[in-house]
Amino acid sequence: MENAELLKNARNLLLKLHKSMVDIEREMYEGVHGPQTATEFLNLLLEDPDLSYLRKFSMLIVEIDEMFAAKDGLPADMIDANLVTVRELVAMTESDEYFKAKYQFALQRDANAAALHSELKVLVEDGNV
């Protein structure tokens, strides 16, 4: 599979995984604090330190989307760099223990998130970069 296609597939799975984890966090938050409007919860996603781990996913998705939307072509080095970042994210290799704990908790709490994580991990590990 070509790396650009691999990255597109990874991005799509990453988006589904992100949504699943956002849904988990919203359910838990509303269980404690009561129902939130979409705007209220969006503000929490953007500002609440407890939800900051989700921003790593959303920022990577946006970066990939912007790269594919660029009109001046797709530089191979940017594709490869984003694939490496996706691999590192799903492998939880970074030193941020809080991120790893929150991510692992979400995967343990939700079978759908765990399945998407596994699918994404297999996809990027079998890739060319």
Domain segments of the chain as ranges: 3-125
Find the range with the poorest average confidence among 104-108, 110-114, 124-128. 124-128
pLDDT of the residue at 95: 84
pLDDT digits (tens, 9 = 90+) for 27-51: 999 999 999 999 999 999 999 999 9
The candidate with the shortest Cα–Cα distance to 26, out of 62, 61, 54, is 54
Using pLDDT thresholds of 50, 70 and 90, give the confidence band for residue 129: very low
Q: CA–CA separation, 50 vs 68, rounded Å?
A: 30
Q: Looking at the predicted structure, is the pLDDT value of residue 114 above 80?
A: yes
Q: CA–CA separation, 68 vs 47, rounded Å?
A: 27
pLDDT digits (tens, 9 = 90+) for 66-92: 999 988 878 889 999 999 999 999 999
